[in-house]
Amino acid sequence: MIYLDNAATTLRKPPQVEQAVLDAMRTAGNPGRGAHEPTLHASRLVYAARCAMAKLLHAPDPSCIAFAANATEALNIALGGLFAPCDHIITTVCEHNSVLRPLYRLREQGLQFSFAGVDERGRLQYDDWNKLVQPNTKALVVTGASNVTGNGTDLAKAAGFAHRHSLLLIVDAAQTAGSQPIDVQALGIDVLCFTGHKALLGPQGTGGLYVRPGLSIQPLVVGGSGVHSFDEQHPAQMPTALEAGTLNVPGLAGLCAGVEWILAQGVETLCAKETALAALFYKNIRDLPNVKIYGDPEMPLHAPIISLNIGDEDSARIADILWEDYSICVRAGAHCAPLMHKALGTVEQGVVRFSFSHFNTEAEVLQAAAAVQELAQEI
C-alpha cells in the first residue's frame, strides 16, 4: 500500500506516539482532579504537551496553548468567542468548512463577513484585500494552506495587512502546523488553530489553539475545571478558560511524543523532504496530456499537496481505480472546501488529491506518478 492521503490524516507515526498513548492509558489519572500520583502524572503529561506545542509554535508561554478535539473545535471556539453580532470579518474562498460553517451560523446572529478571492490557479489576490475593509471589521481569518490546492498563504503579508488595519489575525493551521515553520510571535498571530492527527503526527481526537497573551475568548463549553468549583462562572485564566471537562490525556501524550519527534528532526528538515517529494511527483505528471493540475505547485509557499483530474472522469472513480488497481490511497471529491471548488470550476467533478509525508519514499512517489500516467492514457 502507498499512502498518499496525509492531508486527511497521517497514517504512519513515529513508534514513540503509539507507546506514549499506551503508557498513558495504563498510568494516567484525571489531570487536576486530585493529589495522588496517577492524577499528578496526568497533569505532567498534559503540561509536557503544552510545552512541546509552545516550543514548536514559538509561543511565549505554555499557558497560551489550549487543547481541543481538533482544529474544527478550536476554530469554533475562536470564532464563536471573539465577536459581537455587529462585527465584520474578512476571510477567503480558500477556507475549509471548519471556518465557513461557524461563520454561516454566526451570520444568523448578525455577524457580517466578506470573502477575498483567488485567481484562476487558486492564488490569493492580496492587493484586493483593502477593498474589503469596513469600519466594523474586526479580524482576518485565513488558512495556512489550501487543503484543495496546497497553495500557501503568505502569513507575513496577511499579518502586515491585519496590523495596518488593527485587525485580529486568526490562522487555520490544519495543513501547516508541524510541516512548516511557524513563529506566532514574529508574525503577530493572535489565534492559531491546529489539529493533532495530520503533520503533528499525533492521534486523532487531538488539537487546540494558540491564543496571544492578553486576548480573551469566551469559552464555547463550560463545566468542570478542577479549580474554583464553587464559582458560578467558568475560570477565566488560560488555558483552563477554554478547557472544560476531562482532557484526552492519552491522546495528548501521543501528540506530545509526535511533536517532540518533529522538534528533534527539525521542522525545516521535514518540510524540505515533503516539498521535494511533492515536486518530484509534479515533475513527472505536469506535462501529461489529459491531466489537469490545480493550484500552483511552483509557488514558494506550498503544502505537500498536488491535486488533479484526468480528463472529464469523476474524481471518485479515479481514486477508486488508484486503490483497487494500484493500492494507492488518495482523497477525491469536494474536500470540505466548497468555495475553492467553485473558484476552480470543480464542483461536479471534484479533484483527486495526492498529499505527501516525510515518511513517504521517492519510489512510492514515482509509482504514483506512473499510475497517473497509465490512467491518463487509458481514460
pLDDT tens for the chain, 379 residues long, are 999 999 999 999 999 999 999 999 999 988 877 789 989 999 999 999 999 999 999 999 999 999 999 999 999 999 999 999 999 999 999 999 999 999 999 999 999 999 999 999 999 999 999 999 999 999 999 999 999 999 999 999 999 999 999 999 999 999 999 999 999 999 999 999 999 999 999 999 999 999 999 999 999 787 766 666 676 676 777 898 899 888 999 999 999 999 999 999 999 999 999 999 999 999 999 999 999 999 999 999 999 999 999 999 999 999 999 999 999 999 999 999 999 999 999 999 999 999 999 999 999 999 999 999 999 999 8
pTM (two decimals) = 0.96
Do residues 60 and 137 both lie within one domain?
yes
**What angle separates helix 37-57 from helix 249-265, to the nearest 10 degrees?**
40
Q: What angle do CA 262, 201, 51 make, to 5 degrees?
A: 55
Query: How many whole angstroms separate alpha carbon 48 and alpha carbon 255?
Result: 10
Identify the domain boundary among 244, 265, 286. 265
CB atoms within 10 A of CB 189: 25
Query: How many whole angstroms separate alpha carbon 107 and alpha carbon 119?
Result: 26
Q: How far, in whole angstroms, is CA 226 from its chain's centroid?
A: 30
Which residue segment(s) compose the domain that 19 sits in? 15-265
Where do we find the cell 491522546? Answer: 251
Do residues 130 and 259 both lie within one domain?
yes
Q: How far, in whole angstroms, is CA 297 from its chain's centroid?
A: 19
Do residues 123 and 145 both lie within one domain?
yes
234 secondary structure, DSSP code:
P
Do residues 296 and 183 both lie within one domain?
no
Identify the three-state secondary structure at position 134: coil
What is the end-to-end Cα distance of the chain in Å, rounded? Answer: 23
User: What is the total count of domains within the chain?
Assistant: 2
Do residues 259 and 275 both lie within one domain?
no
Signed CA dihedral, 236, 238, 243, 249: sign only? negative
β-strand partners of 333: 351
pLDDT at 238: 85
Left, alpha or beta for 340 (phi > 0: left; psi -120 to 50: alpha)?
Answer: alpha
Looking at the chain, the number of H-run helices and the number of E-run strands are 11, 13
CATH number where 305 lies: 3.90.1150.10
Do residues 232 and 322 both lie within one domain?
no
Identify the domain boundary among 216, 250, 265. 265
Do residues 254 and 339 both lie within one domain?
no
Residue 97 buriedness (CB in 10 A; 0-12 / 13-18 / 19+): middle
* Residue pair 154/107 in contact by the 8 Å Cβ criterion: no
* Residue pair 31/234 in contact by the 8 Å Cβ criterion: no
pLDDT at 248: 96
β-strand partners of 180: 177
Rg of the chain (C-alpha set): 21
Identify the three-state secondary structure at position 367: helix
Query: How many whole angstroms separate alpha carbon 68 and alpha carbon 93?
Result: 25
Residue 218 buriedness (CB in 10 A; 0-12 / 13-18 / 19+): middle
Per the structure block, which three cell numbers stand in for 293? 493540475
Helix (H) or strand (E) run with residue 170 in it: strand 168-172
Of 67, 109, 111, which is closest to residue 89 (Cα–Cα)? 111
* Residue pair 372/285 in contact by the 8 Å Cβ criterion: yes
Q: What are phi and psi of 141, to 5 degrees?
A: -115, 120
Residue 204 buriedness (CB in 10 A; 0-12 / 13-18 / 19+): middle
pLDDT at 240: 84
Query: How many whole angstroms separate alpha carbon 201 and alpha carbon 264?
Result: 13
Do residues 196 and 213 both lie within one domain?
yes
Do residues 255 and 270 both lie within one domain?
no
Do residues 249 and 139 both lie within one domain?
yes
* Residue pair 302/314 in contact by the 8 Å Cβ criterion: no
> Long-range contacts: 183-186, Cβ < 8 Å, 24+?
183/57, 183/58, 184/57, 184/58, 184/59, 184/210, 184/212, 185/58, 185/59, 185/60, 186/58
Of 234, 237, 235, which is closest to residue 214 (Cα–Cα)? 237
Do residues 135 and 281 both lie within one domain?
no
Query: How many whole angstroms separate alpha carbon 158 and alpha carbon 173?
Result: 14
Where do we find the cell 486576548? Answer: 215
Do residues 343 and 200 both lie within one domain?
no
CATH number where 70 lies: 3.40.640.10
Identify the domain boundary among 265, 288, 322. 265
